[in-house]
A and B are shown apart, each in its own frame.
Chain A
Amino acid sequence: MTVTDTENTGSTEPQLSPAGNPMGFGRMLRKEDVRFLRGHGHYVDDVQLPGMLYSAILRSPYAHARIVSIDTSAAEAHPKVRAVITGATLEGLNLAWMPTLSHDVQAVLATDKVRFQGQEVAFVVADDRYAARDALELIDVEYEPLPPVMDATKALDPDAAVIRTDIEGKSDNHIFDWEAGDAAACDEAFAGAEVVVEQDMLYPRVHPAPIETCGTVASMDPITGKLTVWSTNQAPHAHRTLYAIVAGIPEHKIQIISPDIGGGFGNKVGIYPGYVLAVVGSIVTGKPVKWVEDRSENLMATAFARDYHMKGRIAATKDGKILAVQVDVLADHGAFNGTAQPTKFPAGFFHIFTGSYDLQAAHCKVTGVYTNKAPGGVAYACSFRITEAVYLVERMVDVLAYELGVDAGELRMKNLLRPEQFPYTSKTGWEYDSGDYPRALRKAMEIAGYDELRKEQAEKRERGELMGIGISFFTEGVGAGPRKHMDILGLGMADGSELRVHPTGKAQLRVSCQTQGQGHETTFAQIVAHELGIPPEDVEVIHGDTDNTPFGLGTYGSRSTPVSGAAAAVVSRRVRDKARIVAAAALECSPDDLEWTQGRWSVKGDPEQGRTIQEIAMLSHGSLELPEGVEGHLDASVVYNPPNLTYPFGAYICVVDVDADTGKVHVRRFIAVDDCGNRINPMIVEGQIHGGLAEGVGMALMQAIAFDEDGNCLGGSFLDYLLPTALECPSWETGATVTPSPHHPLGAKGVGESATVGSPPAVVNAVIDALKPYGVRHADMPLTPCQVWLAMQGRPARTDLALT
Chain B
Amino acid sequence: MHRISVTVNGTTREGEVEARTLLVHWLRDSLGLAGTPIGCDTSNCGACTVLMDGRSVKSCSVLAVQADGSEVTTIQGLANGEWHPVQKAFKECHALQCGYCTPGMITAAVDLLGENPDPTEEEIRHGLEGNLCRCTGYHNIVKAVELAAGEMREAAK
Contact = CB atoms under 8 A, between A and B. Distances in A.
B137 A729 contact: yes
Interface string A14-56: 0000000000000001101111111111110110100000000
B81 A691 contact: no
A211 B47 contact: yes
A691 B136 contact: yes
A790 B99 CA distance: 39
A39 B35 contact: yes
Interface in A661-691: 683-684, 686-691
Interface string A201-237: 0000000111111000000000000000000000000
A727 B125 contact: yes
A714 to B, nearest CB: 15
A494 B147 CA distance: 42
A688 B87 contact: no
Nearest to A689: B137
Interface in B82-134: 83, 87, 90-92, 94, 96-103, 106, 121, 124-126, 128-134
Nearest to A717: B42
A30 B91 contact: yes
B18 interface: yes
A695 B135 CA distance: 9
B150 to A, nearest CB: 17
A294 interface: yes
B94 A45 contact: no
B96 A36 contact: yes
B132 A690 contact: no
Contact of A731 (B36, B92, B121): B121
B135 A517 contact: yes
B97 A687 contact: yes
A723 interface: yes
Given A263-B98, A517-B99, A692 B35 contact: no
- Give the one of A34, A35, A726, A727 with max B CB within 10 A: A726
Given A37-B87, A45-B37, A727-B126, A263 B135 contact: yes
B75 interface: yes
A321 interface: no
Interface string B124-157: 1110111111111111111000000000000000
Nearest to B100: A262
A662 to B, nearest CB: 19
A33 B140 CA distance: 14
Nearest to A297: B41
B65 to A, nearest CB: 14
A774 interface: no
A544 to B, nearest CB: 13
A719 interface: yes
B76 A39 contact: yes
A67 to B, nearest CB: 26
B44 interface: yes
Given A39-B76, A687-B136, A260 B41 contact: no
B37 A296 contact: no
Contact of A263 (B128, B134, B140, B142): B134
- Give the one of A37, A209, A517, A688 with max B CB within 10 A: A37
B59 interface: no
Contacts of B36: 39
Interface residues of A, number: 61
A178 interface: no
A210 B100 contact: yes
Interface string A724-746: 01110101100000000000000
B40 A210 contact: no
A117 B75 CA distance: 37
A621 interface: no
A39 B34 CA distance: 7
A40 B133 CA distance: 18
B56 interface: no
Contact of A37 (B91, B131, B135, B142): B91
A295 B46 CA distance: 13
A516 B128 CA distance: 23
A519 interface: yes
A209 B40 CA distance: 10
B103 A39 contact: yes
A129 B60 CA distance: 14
A264 B135 CA distance: 9
A213 B39 contact: yes
Given A48-B32, A262-B99, A726-B125, A296 B94 contact: no
Contact of A265 (B39, B106, B134): B134
A261 B98 contact: yes
A275 to B, nearest CB: 19
Contacts of A695: 134, 137
B6 interface: no
Contacts of A264: 98
Interface in A557-609: none
A683 B94 contact: yes
A724 B41 CA distance: 18
A729 B139 contact: yes
Given A37-B87, A718-B45, A260 B99 contact: yes
A509 interface: no
Contact of A719 (B39, B42, B76, B91): B42
* Nearest 6 interchain pairs by C-beta: A39-B35, A517-B98, A262-B100, A36-B99, A690-B137, A517-B97
20 contacts: A33-B91, A33-B96, A34-B91, A37-B99, A38-B35, A41-B100, A43-B100, A211-B134, A213-B39, A262-B39, A265-B134, A294-B41, A295-B45, A691-B97, A693-B137, A694-B138, A717-B41, A719-B42, A719-B44, A726-B131
Given A38-B75, A517-B135, A718-B40, 8 more contacts: A39-B36, A39-B75, A39-B76, A684-B94, A690-B136, A694-B133, A717-B41, A726-B129
Interface of B: 18, 20-21, 25, 28-29, 32-42, 44-45, 47, 74-76, 78, 81, 83, 87, 90-92, 94, 96-103, 106, 121, 124-126, 128-142
